[in-house]
Amino acid sequence: MSRSSKKGPYIDPRLLEKIAKTKDAVNTYSRRCQITPEFVGRNFGVHNGRKFINVYITEDMVGHRLGEFSPTRTFKGHGRVVKRVIEKT
């Protein structure tokens, strides 16, 4: 379920403070924070539960959440096809 439109987007206030202080890449655990136009052109390290994934913010990402660009699961494929040898007797 999405956030109520009368509340507005959720933006982590600590993240805004970090952005105002520095021009370098900012590491964050706040995957639920919505991307605003102030974030465009910045690098973020978004935590995926194990490590920080570098994400460069572009204009197309505005309105999405930071966590959408840092996948938490690695897809290793479906079952493999095993070649079986049929023996003739």
Q: Residue 45 to residues 13, 56, 76: CA-CA distances in angstroms?
A: 17, 9, 24
Domain-located, residue 75: no
Domain-located, residue 79: no
Residue 25 has pLDDT above 80, yes or no: yes
pLDDT value at residue 88? 73
Q: Which residue range is the domain that position 51 belongs to?
A: 13-69
Residue 77 has pLDDT above 90, yes or no: no
Q: Give pTM, 2 decimals.
A: 0.80
Residue 86 has pLDDT above 90, yes or no: no
Residue 14 CA to its chain's centroid (Å): 18
Domain-located, residue 4: no
Q: Which two tokens stand for residue 74?
A: 């690695």
| Structural domain total, the chain | 1
Domain-located, residue 88: no
Residue 79 has pLDDT above 90, yes or no: no
DSSP state of 3: P
Query: How many helices and strands (H and E) does the chain possess?
Result: 1, 3
Q: Which two tokens stand for residue 17?
A: 């403070």
CATH number reported for the structural domain that contains residue 51 in this entry: 3.30.860.10
